[in-house]
Amino acid sequence: MSANLAELLGTMILVLLGDGVVANVLLKQTKGNNAGWIVITAGWGFAVAVGVYCTNAISGAHLNPAVTIGLATIGKFDWALVPGYIAAQMAGAFLGAVLVWLAYLPHWAVTESKGDKLGVFSTGPAIRHTLGNLICEIIGTAMLVLGVLAILSPANLVPNSGFDKGLAPALVGLLVGAIGLSLGGPTGYAINPARDLGPRLAHFVLPIPGKGSSDWSYAWIPVVGPIIGGIVGALVYKALW
């Protein structure tokens, strides 16, 4: 499998399981309806871990343009490979969202809230405040990239230990869960441009009953904020390590 195909597959899995848990909580007449924020953040952490486990050995499991750009910024990834990775991540995120739509097919019509339907696919602010929302996404993604790089740092690995390599994706998932619990309240913690924009495009084109607006006026924040945050997190790591 090529690295780009692995990025597509891994991001598709991430969104399928991540947006899937949101659908289970928000859509009406599901087994998990109203299960709450803890279930969503746990589900997203598990989703990231599974996506990374499936593709880490092939592509490095970036699964996130902010991670790809952050790594390239500090010389840990070839800039020439960045466009292919990002295109694959976007395509994978879109396909993952389509699979969520199919998995919950009968539940869209019985869910009245347009906001909940959009919330399955993409993030939105608890309080619409452009600067505050942007800052929150920058901070969250900086923590993500710094945390991922620290987890994978040779200083935190035991030489010749397969335990460390096998544990790293689970720790990345735990990191995503921690970010969701601690920093996810203001914006829903996109912390990944593909994870937000790909599913938002799916929401826009899919025949979802009573779906309403895809909120394009907000859509740039979970793209620009994570890219800035990814670069900041990578630079902080480089300065510290």
Q: What is the DSSP string of 14-49?
A: HHHHHHHHHHHHHSTTSTTTT--HHHHHHHHHHHHH
Class for domain 3-240, per CATH? mainly alpha
How many angstroms separate the CA atoms of 202 and 156, rounded? Answer: 39
The model's pTM is: 0.96
pLDDT in the model for residue 162: 58
Q: What is the pLDDT of residue 164?
A: 63
Q: Are 222 and 137 spatial neighbours (Cβ–Cβ below 8 Å)? A: yes
Cα–Cα distance, 119 to 22 (Å, whole number)? 8
Q: What is the DSSP letter of 156?
A: G
Q: What is the CA radius of gyration of the chain?
A: 17
Sorted by where each begins, the domain ranges of the chain are 3-240
Predicted pLDDT at 166: 81
* pLDDT, averaged in runs of 10, over the chain (241 residues): 96 98 98 98 98 96 98 98 98 98 98 98 98 98 97 80 76 98 98 98 98 98 98 97 85
The pLDDT, as a whole number, for residue 163 is 54
Q: What is the pLDDT of residue 161?
A: 63
Res 156: pLDDT: 80
CA distance 10 to 105: 23
Which pLDDT value is given to residue 181? 98
